[in-house]
Structure 1
Amino acid sequence: MKHLIHTLNKAFDNRVRLGVMAVLMANESVSFNELKEALDLTDGNLASHVAALEKAGYVAVTKQFIGKKPNTTYAASKEGKIAFQEHLTALEKLLRG
């Protein structure tokens, strides 16, 4: 039987990535600045963690210009939503013992 600790998703081990996914699960999409403010992160810290989640296929990134200003928004992908829910389920099972 697989030990419950091994069912946790390593992509969400880091507290920043966990926070990013939690915010994205609660919202349809979130701008870079909103996400940065919600999690109290620096630009570079947020960008590196979102890039890791994007590489895993868990976050969809949309870049556009509003007027002359760049605007980047993030949303949890279908795969990301499934993976995060599985991670939360594994955490709940681990807590229950």
Structure 2
Amino acid sequence: MIKINQLNKEFESRVRLGIMSILMVNDWVDFSEMKNLLEVTDGNLASHSNALEKVEYIEVKKEFVGKKPKTSYRVTQIGRLAFTQHLNALEKLLGHK
């Protein structure tokens, strides 16, 4: 029997769930595309992506394209494992596995 405390607290936010869901099925996703997909503000995306980067669930790449800064994200192996475990725990909690 799975307990609710076995869910990963890093994924309690809908924005973080969204970031991880998008990155699980895409390689690199840039800031503006992620922002549009999630329909969040710059600050909201930045704060949630920083939190996921801090726990090493996502990798953030900052570069210049021409003279414009570009930020892109991708899921790490640690992040992929943690998110998969979280989804499996949710399914068990809901009685689907």
Task: Indicate whether the TM-score tops 0.5.
Answer: yes
Residues 7-45 of structure 1 show CA distances to partners (whole Å, capped at 9, x for unaligned) of 100000011101110011110110000000000010000
TM-score, normalised relative to structure 2 = 0.95
Secondary structure, aligned partner of 1:96? coil
The CA RMSD over aligned residues, in Å, is: 1.2
User: Quick one: distance in 2 between partners of 1:47 and 1:26?
Assistant: 20
Counterparts of 1:1-97 in structure 2, within 5 Å, are 3-96=2-95
TM-score, normalised relative to structure 1 = 0.95
User: Quick one: distance in 2 between partners of 1:45 and 1:52?
Assistant: 11
User: Quick one: distance in 2 between partners of 1:24 and 1:84?
Assistant: 11
Secondary structure, aligned partner of 1:73? strand
Q: Percent identity?
A: 54
Kindly tell me the number of residue pairs found equivalent between the two proteins.
96
Name the one with the larger helix percent.
Answer: 1
State the shift of 1:70 in Å.
0.5
